[in-house]
Structure formats: structure tokens, C-alpha cells
Homo-oligomer: A and B are copies of this chain.
Amino acid sequence: MSAAAPALDQLQRHLHTTRLLGSISSTLYYDQNTVMPAAGAPWRGEQLALLAAQLHERQSSDAYADLVAAAEAELDGTAPPQRRRNLQLLRLELNRQRCLDPALVTALARAQSHGNAVWQEARAANAFTSFAPALRELIRLRREQAGQLADAEPVARSPWEILAQPFEPDISKARLTELFAPLAAELPGLLESVAAAPATAPAEPHAVPEPLQEQLCSELLDSWGYDAARCQRSRSAHPFSCTVGPQDFRITTRVVEGQPFSAFLATAHEWGHSLYEQGLPRGDDHYFPWPLGEATSMGVHESQSLFWECRVARSRAFAERWHPRFQRGLGSDPWGGAFGFWRALNPLRPGLIRVEADELSYSLHIVMRFELELALLEQGMPVEELPDAWNRRIKELLGLQPATDAEGCLQDIHWAEGLFGYFPSYALGHLISAQISEALEREIGSIETLIGAGETAALQGWLASHIWPHGRSLNAEELVERVTGRPLGARPFLSYLRAKVGQLTGAG
């Protein structure tokens, strides 16, 4: 920082160490999910709990509060706005940490761990009733937590809104309701029109051998600027992206039996997350390890992964460029040409499972979860009514009926761990990706044309200059408005889907 701001310097050193500890935790997480043998789990749990306790202490102690206060006192009229915002974000987070009763934090950690364990069994046994008490307790504790946190909020927020803040800062129920209404209104009709058209993708996917999938994933990353000096790709049970240090980026993928494009598309998706992290404003010391060097929201993060997965890797131009590689690797063309290959990359077939959903129905899964979270947390819906409410609404939105709760309200892990307020970010990612794609196309031309010309570097360059360098200096909606000139809305996403559906169900 500067010689004139000793308190700020001290605060920065404190935050630097906090960040070191946080990234140690990330490294353990990465190790745990890629190579750790199963029997290592209990000890790993203790290691992570120790680091979590250290992190909590560093982020809520009186000593830290004094550091923040001293840095605030140093601020004068000449302080740059970014410094001011850094301190505001730190103050908000500090106040939140200090509002919480430590006994509640412990009770929640225990209930989350218990919830996860009970959920695993309940899902396997398809027995919602055995999970219900754990869920009820989690809702009670999270409501209590929201009550304690309310004092720290700069504006009045409902319990659900308070719980959603860590994922989507400044979001409100009213705004989400407004953004999601067009999705609930228009997507079911679009889905019906697809159902009426001839099948777009083969019902039984053509197999792609594992070594070929691996090789194509590597080629994809290489063509998108993967740098082995700063990145590492491993295998894990569930794909994820994680940042282990300012110059150390990891992604993981997996090959799924019967899903020939799963690894390929997951690679594109996780690489999109990683590119955002790699492009965050870290070069300047001013940004690191301050809040402004972080991703601004889960929705924006998801917009970056979805851009590379859906706008690029699932695009028609991309299918045309990559079809020959798949064909060459297989030694045959089970898709009967590039158009068939593109269709296979884009199955449009509503399903009951969110994580397997296509681009059309995915957001409807989210709309429903958002509604149900509000019902459970704020509208007094008894936990016992969840399965019926779920099944009724999924039928309305997707026209499907779960045969069991395992493929209904027991399918996601989020609620089992008390995670409420997270789901909307997934759908926001689709909306944001579509809206910034429109802005990108106004500025540098059609995405399809650029991909067709092999210019994915131009796409990356545009994101690198327009999206990534903002970090948390703008929140998600401010960022979208700054970049696109308009408030975030659902129209670009719906337009994009309508056009894509038209092409996919057309004659090719």
C-alpha cells in the first residue's frame, strides 16, 4: 500500500496470512478429491477443522477488528475508491462474523455433517421421512443464523436473502422473482415445441473410449491456452475447479460410462471457471490479497464456465471444427456428419435430475428450488410437504413425474448440508453468460463466426479485458450493466435458446 498508511499495511499482512491459510485448505481439498485414500478421511477432517478454526479466529478476533478500524480511520478524502470498497467489504464480512454466536456455529457444523450422513442413507433407501428431521433442524438453525446476521446487514433483508449473500452479494428475492418469471413463463412452451419435433440427439449415445476422451480433453485445453507451468488437471469423482495459489490453478474431470461428452464438456466448463480465476486482478499488489481480487459472485463465476461449455463447446461452429477429431480418433463417424455430431452435443430432453439437465430445462430446476427454499424458510411450509410440493411443481414445469424421492427432492446435496440460497446462482450464470455474449457479439462479431475461424483467443481476449479484471469492484448486476449497457434480464438467454432450438430441430 503506502508509507502513509501503516495500518493498511498491517491489515494487508494480516490478510495475506489469512489467504495463505485459506489456500492451504484448498490444497487439502484438492488432494482429498483427487488422490487421498479413503481411510485418510477422518484425519483430513481434523486437519481441515483446525484450519477452519484458525481462519475463523483470524476473521473475527478483536485484534483483527482493531486492524480494520485502524485502517478505516486512516481513510481520508484522497483515498482511492477501490481502497474504500475493500474496507467496506472487509467491514461487512467482519460484522457478519462477529454477529454469530459461536455455539450456533458449532451446532450448525454438527447439523450439516449429520444432515449429509442422513441424506446419503435416505437417498439410497429412497426414504424422505428419515431425512425430514435433519432437514427441519437445519432449517431451524439457518433461520436462527439469519436472525443473528440481520444486525450486520447494511439494508433490511429477509432470512433467505441473508443466507444467499455469500454466494450472490446484494441479491434480493424481488429481483430474482423478476428475473426468473420469464423463464417459468416461456421455457415450458419451448420444451413442448422441442418434444413435438423429431429427436435431436440419439437416444443411446455412441461410445467414445476413455483414452480418446482423455486425449480430446487435453487437446481442447491446449487449444484454449492451458499452460502446464500454472495449471494442473487431475481426475476426481466430481469435476471442479480450484485455485491453490495466485499462480496455481487446478481443474478436475472424470470420464462417465455411457456419457461420451461428459468429460469433454466438463473440461470446457471447469476451464471457464479457471480462466476467470486466472484473469482476476492479481498482478497489481494493490489487489492482492484484498477482497477486490476475488470473484464477485457465484453467478458471474458460473457465467464464465457456462460461456465456454454452452456458448463455445456446444456451438455449431465448434462442432464442425471438432467433429473431424472425434471421427479420426474413433476411426468412424457414428453421428453421420457434423450436424449429427452437434445434435449429439446438445440433447434437448427434459429430465428429472438437475445435474443431467439440458440448457432448456436446467433453469426450470433452479426456479423450482428457489420457490421451495422460500416456502421452507420463509413461508412456513412444513418439511413433510416438500416431496408433494416438489412433485407437483416439477410436473408443471417439465411435465415429468418422479417415481421416487431419490429422483425428486432427495437428489441434491445442498439442503442436506444446510446450503440455502445457492441454487439461483446456477441460473443467473445462464442469464449473465447470454447477456454478455450479446455485448461481445456487438463489439467483436458473431461467436459462431469467430469459432468457425478458429478465433477462440479473441473470445478469451474480450472476457479478459471486459469481465475478469473487475474482481469484486463491481457486484454481479453492476458488472453486467457496465459491460452490456443494460440491466440484467432474461431476454438474451431466451432469445439464444429460441434460436438454438430452431436450428437443432431444423433440417441441418
Q: How many Å lie between the Cα of A102 and that of B21 in the bound state?
A: 23
Closest to A50 in B: B20
Instruction: Name the distance in Å between A187's Cβ and chain B's nearest Cβ.
Output: 41
Chain A 424-435 interface 0/1 with B at a Cβ cutoff of 8 Å (1 = within): 000000000000
A10 located at the interface, meaning its Cβ lies under 8 Å from any Cβ of chain B in the complex? no
- Determine whether the beta carbon of B23 is less than 8 Å from that of A47: yes
Interface segment among A229-237, A330-338, A439-447, A498-506: the answer is A229-237
Bound-complex Cα distance A17 to B39 (A): 19
| A residues 15-43 touching B (CB-CB < 8 Å) | 17, 20-21, 23-24, 27-28, 30-31, 34-40, 42-43
Instruction: Determine the residue in chain B with the shortest Cβ distance to A54.
Output: B54
User: Is chain A's interface secondary structure helix, strand, loop, or mixed overall?
Assistant: helix
A247 and B50 contacting across the interface, CB-CB below 8 Å: no
Would you call A103 an interface residue if the criterion is a C-beta within 8 Å of the partner chain's C-beta atoms? Answer: no
| Residues of chain B with a CB closer than 8 A to A47's CB | 20, 23-24, 27, 245
Instruction: Say if the beta carbon of A46 comes within 8 Å of chain B.
Output: yes
Report copies per complex: 2
Q: Please name all residues of chain B whose beta carbon is closer than 8 Å to the beta carbon of A196 when the two chains form the complex.
A: none
Given A17-B50, A35-B234, CB of A245 within 8 Å of CB of B40: yes
Contact partner, A39, options B23, B34, B37, B229, Cβ 8 Å: B229
B24 touches A24 (CB 8 A): yes
Give the chain B neighbours of A38 by CB distance below 8 A: 229-230
- A334 CB, min distance to chain B CBs, angstroms: 28
| A101, CB-defined interface residue at 8 Å | no
Q: For the side of the interface on A, what is the size category?
A: 35 or more
Query: What is the CA–CA distance of A85 and B46 in the complex, to the nearest angstrom?
Result: 27
Whether a CB of chain B sits under 8 angstroms from the CB of A225 is no
A344 to chain B, nearest CB (A): 32
8 A Cβ contacts from A199-247 to B: 227-232, 234, 244-247
A386 to B: closest C-beta gap in Å: 36
A44 sits at the interface (CB 8 A): yes
CB of A100 to closest CB in B, whole Å: 23
List residues of chain B with CB within 8 A of the CB of A43: 20, 23, 244-248
B residues in contact with A256, CB < 8 Å: none
**Least distance between A65 CB and chain B CB atoms (Å):** 22
- Separation of A31 and B21 alpha carbons in the complex (Å): 16
Which B residues touch A46, using CB under 8 A? 20
* A contact residues vs B (CB 8 Å cutoff): 17, 20-21, 23-24, 27-28, 30-31, 34-40, 42-44, 46-47, 50-51, 227-232, 234, 244-250
